[in-house]
Structure 1
Amino acid sequence: MGKDPVIRALVGLIALVAVGAAVSLAQSIIAPVVFALFIIAIVWPLQRGMQRHVPKLAAMAVTLIVTLLVVGCVLSIVVWGFARVGQWTLANAGRFQSLYGQAGDWLEGHGFILASMVAEHFDVRWLLRLFQEISSRVHGLFSFLVVTFVFVILGLLEVDVFVRQLARTRRGDAGGFMLRAGADIAGKMQKYMLVRTLMSIATGLVVWGFTLASGLELATAWGAIAFAMNYIPFIGPFVATLLPTFFALVQFESFEMAAFVFLCLNLIQFLSGSYLEPRIAGKALAVSPFMVLFAVFFFAFLWGVPGAFIGVPLLIAILTLCAHHEPTRWVSDLLSGQAPADPVALAPEMPPSA
């Protein structure tokens, strides 16, 4: 009997790996469905409010148009920003080559023998191909969005019917549990996207203002990239910080200026992501930073860029389901990243003195 917990743990681990592999292999089907449910949870209040005044199909059409415009604008900003950076890279290819050669000479002078060999084979077209790859991946998201919005259309048509069916479910309190948990998850998704959008706009504006004031070229592009990339926790801000730093080094040919840009951009991202956003979001969206980072990289590994974006919302949804189910509520409390309200719970029980 003592081995039963170990066996159950191993079986659970094997099942988790199998589910992860299945989810990764079925990405073309599962990922659009997950994104469709996420979009429905966010835009449903708009359609529900409009249905009180106009027919259902008209309300759904307006909701879809608004959603497509918003998503299209964000993707267009990303493509435009990286296209501008790619054009600047092409126009200043000689400066990149010269800077890389100087770095190779400096490294070789400090004992890095292979640096000069790498510098001789460096081609600035590597950077261009990198930006082209990023832009092509963003363009590839459009086909993904087509499939997603087909599911969104079908889902919006059936939300009312699905809710009524759940309310009529007679299997214990399963229907009530799903309705309560679903409503809570939808509310948190809406708040998450509202907070994330507000912080992204603020971050983009501050980055634009800073890069403009510091004399860094492509200030508008850096602000646009910072706005769009802020929707992906950790990875997005890192990219939005590292790229302007590298280009500041090329433009000003000064390590001091590049370090200044790097430190200031990191300060902006820290104040936005680690100070302001948690205070605006409140405890409703509290999640352990460790789990946030894990969710971003795990779902990015499974589904690429869409997975990096949807990882945190999926984590919030899973923890919300755990919070509504008594036997698993401890999981939600454990991964919330919040200290217990009862100070007694912070101190372990001391053994009685002899």
Structure 2
Amino acid sequence: MAARAINVSVGIIAAILLLVAARLASGVLAPLAFALFIIALVWPLHQRLQSWLPKLLALALTMLVTVSFGLVFAVVIVWGVGNVWRALLADFSQYQAAYDGAIGWLAAHGISVQGLWAEHFDTARMLRIAQQVGGHLNTSLVFWIVTLTYVILGLLEVEEMRGRIALLGNREASRILLTASRTTAALFRRYMVVRTLMSVLTGLLVWAFAAIVGLPFAVEWGVIAFALNYIPFIGPFIATLLPTTLAMFQFDTWQAVIVVFICLNVIQFVVGSYIEPQVAGNVLSISPPLVLFAIFLWTYLWGFPGTFIGVPITIAMLTFCSEHPRSRWVSDLLGKRSTGQVA
């Protein structure tokens, strides 16, 4: 019992130290994590191209496809968000009048929020926020350049690294690394296929609903819902909140706003809680509290990149835990997934 308690304590301390290291070295580790995730996704394509093309040409085509997908995704998102933002700025006086009316109504009922707004959203603060957004854009560009560099180098080293692991003197460690890596890559690919299908379905349903009820920017809201659905829990909530906020200025009654909010949440609930589990099977059999905790934890450690990569990291950790007898209980408790179910 004493030895087991010591092992548990050492494990907890090691986990805390690893999280601290992840926080301190986020500039290096976050791009590396994304690169490993991308390598897992594109490796089948790269391997197939290598079978009938020179290695460097296959690498160039793989990177071209990868970057093209990323650019198309980014352009679509910028188009949707940009259209909504420009329209909001063009009709700013209308929204300002509606805002002033709401403030006046609240003040007449003894609720004062104007002072709170002035305290937290003064001009200087908004200017600092704008500067921070510009800084984040520059940081994101550097982040993706580093990530793509890792991807190029990683694709060149996959086969050699696999051979080194296979030749390790510790046969059990070699088996765990090879099996868990192969299973994790398969899970990543299946996770992204399912997430993409559900994102497309969510985007189409949100677009159709917005068009039916006459909510402006129906296509844009569908695109935004599609993009945000890649982030479990938090993304769908934001995708519901944004059009509901606009509906407050577009419709004359609170009942209509409530109907918009409820219907958008029903769409997110049906897709996320019923359809997706049926399609995904065991690829994401992780308890919802663990998914939410992973998103918040990795967002805190790595910022916005951690918001997206948190769930894949959790999938990888549970997969590796399931391969060793001493850590399999972690996967059984939190993942409840058998690695043998994924080819």
User: TM-score, normalising length from structure 1?
Assistant: 0.87
**Displacement over 6 Å in runs of 4+:** 4-7, 119-136
Structure 2 spans left out of the alignment, 5+ residues: 338-343
Secondary structure class of the residue paired with 2:232: coil
1:61 equivalent in structure 2: 60
Q: Which residue of 1 aligns with 2:340?
A: none
One-letter amino acid matched to 2:261: F
Residues in 1 aligned to 2:152 and 2:244: alpha-carbon distance in whole angstroms: 42
For structure 1, the 5+ residue unaligned runs are 339-354
**CA distance in structure 1 between the partners assigned to 2:146 and 2:301 by the alignment:** 18
Residue deviations 1:187-209 (CA, integer Å, cap 9, x gap): 00000001011111111111111
Name the aligned partner's letter for residue 152 of structure 2.
I
CA shift in 2, pair 1:119/1:59, >3 Å: closer
Inter-CA distance 130–276: structure 2 relative to 1 (3 Å threshold) = farther
Counterpart Cα distance in 1 of 2:145 and 2:255: 46
Aligned-pair distance for 1:13?
Answer: 4.0
Match of 1:110 in 2: 109
* In structure 2, distance between residues paired with 1:137 and 1:244: 25
**Contact map agreement 1:36 1:148 (CA 8 A) in 2:** yes
- Higher RCO (CA 8 Å, separation ≥ 6 residues): 2
In the alignment, what sits opposite 1:302?
301
Q: 5 Å matches for 1:171-182?
A: 171-182=170-181
Matched residue, 1:229:
228
What does residue 328 of structure 1 align with? 327
Instruction: Provide the rounded CA distance (Å) in 1 between the counterparts of 2:10 and 2:149.
Output: 37
Q: CA deviation at 1:24?
A: 1.1
1:80 maps onto 2:88 in alignment: no
SS at match of 2:326: helix
Displacement of 1:20: 1.7
Q: Which residue of 2 aligns with 1:348?
A: none
- Could you say what secondary structure the match of 2:53 adopts? coil
Going from structure 1 to structure 2, the CA distance change for 1:178 and 1:250 (only over 3 Å counts) comes to same
- How many pairs are equivalent? 336
Deviation digits for residues 131-175 of structure 1, max 9, x if unmatched? 997687466423211110000000000111111122222223221
**Matches of 1:135 and 1:231, distance apart in 2:** 24
What value does the CA root-mean-square deviation take over the aligned residues? 2.6
SS at match of 2:110: coil
Alignment check: 8 A CA contact 2:191 2:283 kept: no
**1:154-169 alignment runs, 5 A limit:** 154-169=153-168
Deviation at 1:128, TM superposition (A): 10
| Contact map agreement 1:287 1:336 (CA 8 A) in 2 | yes
For residues 133 and 214 of structure 1, the distance between their equivalents in structure 2, rounded to whole angstroms, comes to 36
Residue 129 of structure 1: CA displacement?
Answer: 9.0
SS at match of 2:171: coil
- Give the counterpart letter for 2:84 in structure 1: V
Q: CA deviation at 1:336?
A: 2.2
- Within 5 A, what are the aligned runs for 1:190-339? 190-336=189-335
**Separation in 1 of the partners of 2:136 and 2:63?**
23
Superimposed CA distance per residue, residues 245-301 of structure 1 (whole angstroms, 9 cap, x where no aligned partner): 001111224322221111111111111111111111102331111100000111011
Q: Deviations over 1:207-256 (max 9, x none)?
A: 11111121111112111111111111111111111010001111224322
Which secondary structure state, in structure 2, belongs to the residue aligned with residue 232 of structure 1? Answer: coil
Which deviates the most, 99-108 or 21-30? 99-108
CA 1:139–1:78: 2 relative to 1, 3 Å? farther
1:96 corresponds to which residue?
Answer: 95
Are residues 135 and 45 of structure 1, via their aligned partners in 2, closer, same or farther at CA, if it must alter by over 3 Å?
farther
| SS at structure 2 position matched to 1:283 | coil
Structure 1 pair 320/119, CA: closer, same or farther in 2 (3 Å)?
closer
In structure 1, the partner of 2:43 is 44
CA contact (8 A) 2:176 2:320 kept: no
- Once residues 307 and 86 of structure 1 are traced to their aligned partners in structure 2, the CA distance between those partners, rounded to angstroms, is 25
Name the CA shift for 1:158/1:122 in 2 (closer, same or farther; >3 Å).
closer
Shift in CA distance, 132/263, structure 1 to aligned 2, threshold 3 Å? farther
The alpha-carbon distance between structure 1 residues 159 and 208, as it changes in their structure 2 partners (threshold 3 A), is: same
Counterpart CA distance in 1 for 2:107 and 2:314 is 47
d(CA) in 2 for partners of 1:73, 1:270? 28
- The separation in 1 between residues aligned to 2:190 and 2:204, in whole angstroms, is 21
Residues 29-50 of structure 1 show CA distances to partners (whole Å, capped at 9, x for unaligned) of 0001111111001100011111
Moved more, 168-177 or 6-15: 6-15
Q: 1:140 to 1:267 in 2, by over 3 A?
A: farther
Percent identity of the aligned residues? 45
The two structures have a TM-score, normalised by structure 2, of 0.89
* Per-residue deviation, 1:21: 2.1
State the shift of 1:99 in Å.
Answer: 2.0
Equivalent residue, structure 2, for 1:350? none
In structure 1, distance between residues paired with 2:267 and 2:127: 28
